[in-house]
Chain A
Amino acid sequence: MRRMTVVAMAAAGAAVLLAGCTPAVPVAGVAEPVEVTAAVTDDQSDRVQSQTFEELAVADEAKSTKTLDVRVGGDAKVVRGAEYKQQSADDGPKPDVLPSDMQAVYVTSAETWPRVMVGVSDQPSEDTTPVVSVWVQDDVDTPYQFRNWAHMVPGATLPAMPGPTVGADELAMDSTIGEDTLQSYVDNYLELLRKGEDDDLNETFAEDSYRDQLFTARGVLTAAAKKADGKYVDTVEPEEKSTYALATADGGALIFAPLRIDSSFSVEDAKVSVPAADEPLVDGDLVDKVTHEYRDMVVMYVPPADSEDLPAVVAADHHLVRVSPDGAK
């Protein structure tokens, strides 16, 4: 009996000792923060880019946009389709070369949608400037989609951007730099495009070849219409829902603004015609009026408030997508 008592006491003592020596169940701590705070890592952006250019390569091969489904959409798909049509004409121009090699990729740090990713390609050739490509992810369930591209304006320089590890802040268009909102910079530039180079707004933006070409074409077409007792009218409209802005490293902003430009040319007692390369884009029978529809892309750099530099368009393209007798559908 005594032995049993001793054993029992020893067991109890050992249990008590062990209970005191056994650590408590661990509880969750606070994990280290994410190393790459950008919305996408290099691997993710590489995956998006490679799938995009694979999809484009297939479409280019087929000269059809039917396969442009997952990674290519929006204006890019429309513009590419127009290029395929133009290419089908005799001696039609080849589609824009879109290099898959990027010299820089700008990603956002946003945790909301839509999100934007921008790639700046290598220079495709000596005669062509690098291409600025824009991918957009509308929501968490949709993939990043290649939506727009524009060649850099000759002589322009893209501003420094936050690195791919951190990502750039995605700015709302109503956010301000200085006293003006980002949307007002876009609106002023479109107003300048509408009014022409004689407007006071011309002095508020750095020179760029995009608007020079637009003004030159307007002058030529206006004169031609007048000569034929006709009329030339163009309209410039923003696509505000598809306009995005990223904060630059210096506190400025880089705005990606798609535009819709319609130019209507009409004559009296005559019939209009279009160049052979544009004929595949004609939708309908042209008589005395023709409307060219463009899907343009403008990339504008807005410097920080304390900078003496003027806002400048650093990349822009003028893409004809449709020719119709009666204007935009």
Chain B
Amino acid sequence: MEIFLSLRTTGLIAGVIGVILLIVGFVADSVRPPEDVVAHADVSTSVVVVQSDFLTISPEGTLSIEGDGDIVAYTARPADAEAWLAEVDYTEVNSLPDWEALGTRDVAVPSPTPSPEPSSSASASASAAAEDDAKEESPSPSPSPEEKESSSASPSPSASPEPAIVPTEADPFIATEGRSTDLWRNSFIATNRLDIAVDSVPTGLTLVVMTEDGSALTGTDLSLTRVVNDDWITPLLWWGAVLVVVGLIALVVLFIDLRPAQARGESWMASRSADKKGIEKDGSRRSRRAAGAAIPQASLDDAPALTADAATPVDGAEASVDAESSADASSEPEVDSADGGPQAESDSASGDEDPHGNADSDFSDSVKADDDNVNDSTEGGPDDGPAPDGTEDRS
């Protein structure tokens, strides 16, 4: 009864623990941060630079740059890129302060130089506007949108100072602003948004991204993979569920009348405890032992009878007796010897056949039967000693 109660109590406790584990698991699952992260930064320059070291943050990620119009990215040796960047304002993406933000650094040309950006207007109308300006010899570097609209509607082919050559995927290495492109090794080009797989940028090279028309870029993203060590959440939920089930079972048992079963269990337990207290059943080995009937009493006085019945030579009987004597000499209690040795079966067998203790006849039979054994064993000579088999059979 106590055990049963303790099991039920344990089950209830397990259920409570299961509920706690489930709560922790579900809460952890709900607040688990996403593995795919995109860090972002706004930029306002026409050139964005990413050093090769920074790209090691997300070797399998994707770097994206957004802007209006055609966006071109080039790679170059760091020394070459540094020399090229000496004459432009640019934004360097250089750190990851947290998972959602990119750290940037704006670098301006130290000395006043002519801006590489002809206009902040859209590229489609900028060249036409410049052409119109050239034709009209207008000193205004940035015409109004209306002017750009009108000029783009009727461009003057004869007034164009420079052909409008822009980088394309077929030939991305077109010199812009009169600057050489011989330093660039790889190129990436897209419109409005340029996605570059980080692993497509050769190691050790600096990535320089710019707009084709010199307009400002608007933003840059870097996709990252955040490895969250959340392998424990699912097992936690499973263990919680199992424990809750155990607790529920214990709870159900709490409301079931188990007294009949308890009574049967108690009587069974009582019978078990009665055995433990020494109430032996009739005919049981324990009861026979308690009565002492099954304990063979070997004595030298029985020897003649044994000799008369025995079909074997006296020497064999004598050897048997000697062996018995020798066994007695070992001062082992006979009962213990019968119980403890492997020959206990022969004892009990004879006891079962004659539970009232006709031990002598049985003993004679067994000795008769064993005489051969004794002879056999004595063939080797009495000095062989009391072989265990011979000793036990005789007892």
Contacts and interface: CB of A to CB of B under 8 A. Distances in A.
Interface of A: 6-7, 10-11, 13-15, 17-18, 21-23, 25-37, 39-41, 43-44, 47-48, 70, 111, 113, 137, 139-144
Given A11-B27, A29-B53, A32-B203, A21 B58 contact: no
B204 A35 contact: yes
B56 interface: yes
A41 B184 CA distance: 10
B179 A141 contact: yes
Contacts of B27: 7, 10-11, 14-15
Given A10-B20, A18-B31, A140 B180 contact: yes
Which applies to chain B's interface (DSSP): helix, strand, loop or mixed? loop
> Which 7 pairs across A and B sit closest by C-beta, in order of nearness?
A34-B204, A21-B229, A31-B52, A14-B28, A111-B79, A32-B203, A10-B23
A106 to B, nearest CB: 16
Which applies to chain A's interface (DSSP): helix, strand, loop or mixed? loop
Interface of B: 20, 23-25, 27-28, 31-33, 51-58, 77-80, 83-84, 87, 94-99, 173, 175, 178-185, 202-205, 224, 226-230, 232
Contacts of A37: 77
B235 to A, nearest CB: 13
A6 to B, nearest CB: 7
A28 B185 contact: no
22 contacts: A10-B20, A13-B24, A14-B31, A17-B24, A18-B228, A22-B228, A22-B229, A23-B226, A23-B229, A25-B97, A25-B99, A26-B57, A26-B224, A31-B55, A32-B204, A33-B203, A34-B204, A40-B182, A70-B175, A111-B79, A140-B183, A141-B179
B96 to A, nearest CB: 5
A32 B202 CA distance: 9
Contacts of A33: 203-204
Q: Interface centre among B24, B94, B96, B98, by most A CB within 10 Å?
A: B24
A111 B76 CA distance: 12
Given A10-B23, A18-B31, A35-B204, A44 B185 contact: yes
Given A48-B182, A140-B183, 8 more contacts: A31-B203, A33-B204, A39-B77, A43-B185, A111-B77, A140-B80, A141-B179, A142-B180
Contact of B205 (A11, A21, A34, A137): A34
A40 B204 CA distance: 14
